[in-house]
Amino acid sequence: MKNKILDGKRVVCWFSAGVTSAVAAHLAKKRGQITMAYCDTGAEHPDNLRFIADCESWLDQKIIILRSKKYASVWDVFEKTRYLNGVKGARCTTEMKKLVRRNFEDLDNDLQVFGFDALEKKRAEKFVLNNPEVTAWFPLIEENLTKQDCIDTILRAGIKLPAMYELGYKNNNCIGCVKGQAGYWNKIRVDFPDVFDRMAKQEREVNAAICKSYAGDGKRKRVFLDELPSDMGRYESEIEIKCGLICGE
């Protein structure tokens, strides 16, 4: 990509209100004009608005906020579709991010920028394999920058990290992500008890449990949040929650 001419294409930087997408946009803008877009799920931390404004000032770039025309928030998706997460993936991601992206993108003319970092090369390769119709660019991988490098860049720019990072979360996803497991949800229980209670009630309404546990025979089973032991799971050792804009990431 270093020698590729960007002129003639709309360079769309998908901003997630996270540090990696912000720095990816920063690198892309050094090559020329960009468009920045953010999919608002209606369930992320309110501090994201502050981070968006700070990044707009830093990059001297307006960030376009996109929203679903069908659903007001991920909670609206849960209540109307009665689906949380399963073999078909998270319905909220599909409705609030993937379909919103599709309504905005121009596959014939867009170069789409994603914030996959240097430690996510396999994820990027899978992304390209599963989405051949998308012309993708991964500036962080190109420059061999890790997530920590991005955090350092944001801090050097004088920008405070998003609140979810400050609270110890690995990513700036929705508060109470249905892809999270026991350790994550027990952290949510402490930091956002109202969200924990709301999701516990939502699980019962749709009769579907998010978290997995293992019985004495080694078989995996689901456990409802209102039955989740407060000491189950260890968030630090759980796989990072990925909530992307494209299927098959």
The predicted pLDDT at position 178 comes to 95
Phi, psi of 209, deg, nearest 5: -100, 140
> Which of 150, 92, 105, 154 has its CA nearest to residue 131?
105
In 30-111, which residue ranges form alpha helices assigned H by DSSP? 47-59, 74-81, 91-93, 99-104
Closest CA to 21 of 235, 240, 243: 243
**Which residues, 6 or more positions from 97, have their beta carbon under 8 angstroms from its beta carbon?**
39, 41, 243, 244, 245
Q: Are 89 and 177 in contact (CB under 8 A)?
A: no
CA distance 45 to 47: 5
pLDDT value of residue 249: 45
Cα gap 105→101, rounded to integer Å = 6
Neighbours of 239 (CB within 10 A): 10
pLDDT at 225: 97
Residues ≥6 apart with Cβ < 8 Å to 83: 77, 91, 206, 208
Domain ranges of the chain: 10-166, 182-233
Q: What is the mean pLDDT of each run of 10 residues along the chain (249 residues)?
A: 61 96 97 96 97 98 97 97 88 94 95 96 94 95 97 98 96 94 96 98 96 68 93 88 62
The predicted structure's pLDDT at residue 7:
61
> Quick one: which of 77, 13, 10, 19 has its CA closest to 43?
77
Q: Which residue has the tokens 């508060």?
A: 175
49/187 Cα distance (integer angstroms): 23
Give pLDDT, residue 99: 95
Pick the CATH number of 10-166 from 3.40.50.720, 3.40.50.300, 3.40.50.620, 3.30.60.50: 3.40.50.620
- pTM for the whole structure: 0.90
Q: Taken in order 179, 47, 225, 67, is the CA torsion positive or negative?
A: negative
Spatial contact of 99 and 92, defined as CB atoms under 8 Å apart: no
